[in-house]
Amino acid sequence: MTSAELTALAAIEEGKFAQAFPSFGPERRGAPVMAFVRVSETPIVTREKVYEPNIVIVLDPTLLKIVNVEAGLQKGGIVILNTSKSVEEIRKETGLKAKLATVDASKIAMETMRVPITNTTMLGALVKATGLIQLAGLSEPIKHRFGPIAEKNINACTRAFEETKVVEG
């Protein structure tokens, strides 16, 4: 949810329209959670779940074994994945056919922030893979959200931007 909120705030700062919201079901505490973001050049009137995304970001690579992350993904869409594996390994293990962006966000988070929390780290991958928002536009929302630890989050985000690999489907 944090990544979704920060993305929406950065988009709004850039003069775009945006909304971010979570989707909670009957899951137990600690279960996978989905969050949605819409970004547009025009006002957004719908408030429903996103059924056909352009972009899917997977913070936890173990979800690939239990969730079809390509379900509903629009043609030309992209899956952005936190993984230490190569694109070839991912495709072989999962059968993913979409355009992929990969980054070892877990490693970056541990080395940069000393915690295995990848939400801001994956925002760097989002920017690199899509250009949906500007990397510099994330600084203020991150500072506002994280205060004294913002600089570590910004550094992790920037490093992920630099290390993300994007491969066509």
CATH of the domain at 70: 3.40.920.10
Mark 106-137 as b/e (b = at least 16 C-beta within 10 Å).
bbbbbebbeeebbbbbbbbbbbbbbebbebeb
Mean pLDDT of 102-130: 96
Which amino acid appears at position 45 of this protein? V
pLDDT digit string, tens, across residues 126-142: 999 999 999 999 999 99
How many Cβ atoms sit within 10 Å of the Cβ of residue 87?
Answer: 18
Average per-residue pLDDT in the chain? Answer: 92
pLDDT tier at 96 (50, 70, 90 boundaries)? very high
What residue numbers bound the domain in which 90 lies? Answer: 2-167
Q: Number of folded domains in the chain? A: 1
Name the band, by pLDDT with cuts 50, 70 and 90, for residue 87: very high
